[in-house]
Amino acid sequence: MDVKWELKILQTFLCWSFLMTIFKCRGTGYSSNTEFSYEDRVIKHLLRKYAERGKYGRPVKNYSDILNLHFGLQLVQIMNLDERKQILTLNVWTNYGWTDVHLRWNVTEFHGVKKINIPAHEIWTPDLRLYNFADERLHERRDSLCIVGHDGSVSWIPQAIFKSSCDIDVKAFPFDKQKCHLKFGSWTYDGLQLDLFFKDNKEEMDTSEFQFSNVWHVISAVGKKSKVTYTCCPEPFIDLTFSITIRRKATFYAYTLILPCVLLTSLTLILFWIPAESPAKLTLGMSIFMAYFVLLSIFQRNIPPSETSPVLGTYYCVNMVLITMSSFLCVFVVNMSVSGTRYPVHLPKTLKKVMFSYVARALCMDNVVKPFMDEGHVTCPTTSRRYMGVNGDGSKFTNDWKGSSETLITVQKESNTELAVIHTKVNEIRNFIKIYKERLEDKDRKEKIAKEWKVLALIFDRIFFIIYITTIIVSLMVVLPIIFDSDIED
């Protein structure tokens, strides 16, 4: 039995060897009456040869030969720029081109077939990698076929989504420019084995198929070839680095972050025009503070953390301080306004002279302080005359009460009872008028003191208004040129 089995195995092996010999002699391995097209025959012929040699070695004749790889990028879409994670996501078409000496055939032998498409995983492909890779996915390309020419030229254009690390500079946010780099190079082949060149000698990304972005505008996308020696290996490695410069479209942020900030800060100017006795003076100030705090929270969510502080963030902090200080200043003015009522004490002469004579004149408030420009304080005769309708020539009621007493004594001596009673009543009326005069004089004095303090508070309100409007204008003139400076420079 063992001999018979050995003879059968030997017979089978001889038959198989005979068929393989015929197959090799015929070149294509198929008879003329097969149903396969010549394109199929070329593909099967090349893949059979690749199966014999393997797909792991470089497709060159000699080991010392350098394989030239042409590489290019076509930018399709800027999918996202995550400022917080500092990751740029691009949708691109990668374009590889090289020559494989094991993928050549005679065109005439296959009836004019000059180009075929074969799967990329069936042949050798370059191990070109994105060096600044920042993706949690294992694969970044979609599978696609390779276009192979009869002379061995291979063109491979797979679609890919690259996530690369990018240093974000938010100093000029939202009018900022960001410059990101995509560094490509072979992971294992050094420059003596694999050399890189730009596709069609174009040292830039192709943007002919770029889709419009609502957030970013592409300024430039240039490439640069470099040769670097790393610590791991003594041989130099070749890489192609594409630098894409994009500018943020700031219209959306101008309406949502900058304009509300300027308007809320401008509302603080209204606080210094509201009368001190109005409750809305403090209520409006607190409302502005709360609204600005909400706006600051929105700004914080939009701005990424960075080593450099954004200029707009500094502007926000300045405005936050201005709004907070406005509340303190309003309390100060209100307290000053009611000080004259609580503590009826005249203004210090020096303070009154400086504020009423010089500051008020500089602020064009002469008409407001003019009634209070008298050097002396309120006198009793003057006040009584104003309230009792008396001028400087005389008084309807004299202050000489001695005469009235003598008259009463005289009347009493004359024993005129009725007339004495009348004079007694008149005397009581005069005493009442005297007390009432004193009260009016005291009331008038207190009112004038209170008005002086209110006018002083009004002057301080005007001073704070001028300081605030000057600060707002100056801050805008300083901040905006700094923000737009990066937009002007290349």
- Condensed to tens digits (0 to 9), the pLDDT of residues 190-206 reads 989 999 999 988 999 99
Q: Residue 25: CB partners within 8 Å, gap ≥ 6?
A: none
Give the pLDDT confidence score for residue 488 in this predicted structure. 46
For residue 79, what is the DSSP state? E
List C-alpha distances in Å: 217 to 42, 212, 221, 378, 489: 46, 8, 11, 73, 15
Percent of the chain with pLDDT over 70: 80
Residue 67 pLDDT greater than 70, yes or no: yes
Going across the sheet that includes 216-229, the strands are: 128-130, 177-186, 236-248, 216-229
Q: With a threshold of 0.75, does the pTM exceed it? A: no
What confidence tier does 17 reach under pLDDT thresholds 50, 70, 90?
Answer: low
Give the pLDDT confidence score for residue 4 in this predicted structure. 58
Give the pLDDT confidence score for residue 13 in this predicted structure. 59
**Dist CA 6 CA 136 (whole Å):** 57
How many CB atoms neighbour CB 325 within 10 A? 15
Residue 489 pLDDT greater than 80, yes or no: no
Mean pLDDT, to the nearest integer, of 54-74?
90
Give the pLDDT confidence score for residue 18 in this predicted structure. 56
* 424, two tokens: 């007694």
Mean pLDDT, to the nearest integer, of 49-68?
88
By three-state DSSP, how is residue 50 classified? Answer: helix
At 436-456, the pLDDT tens digits run: 888 888 777 777 877 888 888
Give the pLDDT confidence score for residue 218 in this predicted structure. 92
Report the amino acid identity of residue 158: P
List C-alpha distances in Å: 181 to 127, 165, 220, 406: 19, 8, 12, 112
Which range, 138-152, 196-210, 322-336, 355-369, has the best average confidence (pLDDT)?
196-210
Give the pLDDT confidence score for residue 194 in this predicted structure. 93
Residue 392 pLDDT greater than 60, yes or no: no
* Conformation bin of residue 308: beta by default, left when phi > 0, alpha when psi is -120 to 50: beta
H-helix segments, 71-177: none
At 102-124, the pLDDT tens digits run: 899 988 888 889 999 999 988 99
Are 77 and 216 in contact, with CB atoms under 8 Å apart? no
Mean pLDDT score across all residues of the chain: 79
At 272-306, the pLDDT tens digits run: 888 877 778 888 888 888 888 888 888 888 777 77
* 261, two tokens: 């900030």
Residue 153 pLDDT greater than 90, yes or no: yes
